[in-house]
Chain A
């Protein structure tokens, strides 16, 4: 059973709307990363937070933003949704940035 929990599991939004996805990591996991995975592709790195600060970012526009909280939870916010934002969004956490990550089951976002 995964120690990383994501909510909601599925979500349908309309183009132009805003969405917040949530992730609850295991205690002690001070590093969290968010990924976008389209069908047939590997996860694409959005950004990483370490001790509540963003310390790495992939090639995603500023309308993708995030937060990490002291209780090891985090959020991914996406503004001005576009149809191409439809994908599986994965949260992954770790105790050490150099170690592998534990992934949540993901949130499947559909933008219509």
Chain B
């Protein structure tokens, strides 16, 4: 079993739709959590950090559930420009290790 697992998708949604991605992790010692966005043939870019209290940045909402060891990302009012691969990242700061999921591909269509 992989340390970080994501539904690979692809998710194909119309503009304006709400879409949710989930990510599960297996190591309970994990300390920091992030969502990254990666466009085709580009480097990953930090989208947002994830906290147990939940955090929101415009149309994006991230949530962490430590008890169930999963992370979620909600995108509201999808735009064409949201089309990308979304990567979940789990970090064990004391071990100096960050683990990426394989990503979930989102395509937003007109």
Contacts and interface: CB of A to CB of B under 8 A. Distances in A.
Contacts of A58: 97
Contacts of A98: 31-32, 91, 93
Nearest to B102: A42
Given A42-B87, A42-B103, A100-B49, A106 B43 contact: yes
Interface of B: 4, 31-32, 34, 36, 42-46, 49, 87, 89, 91-93, 95-103
A97 B31 CA distance: 11
Nearest to B89: A100
Nearest to A31: B96
Contacts, number: 59
Nearest to A42: B100
A55 interface: yes
Interface residues of A, number: 27
A45 B31 contact: no
B43 A44 contact: no
A103 B96 contact: no
A48 B31 contact: no
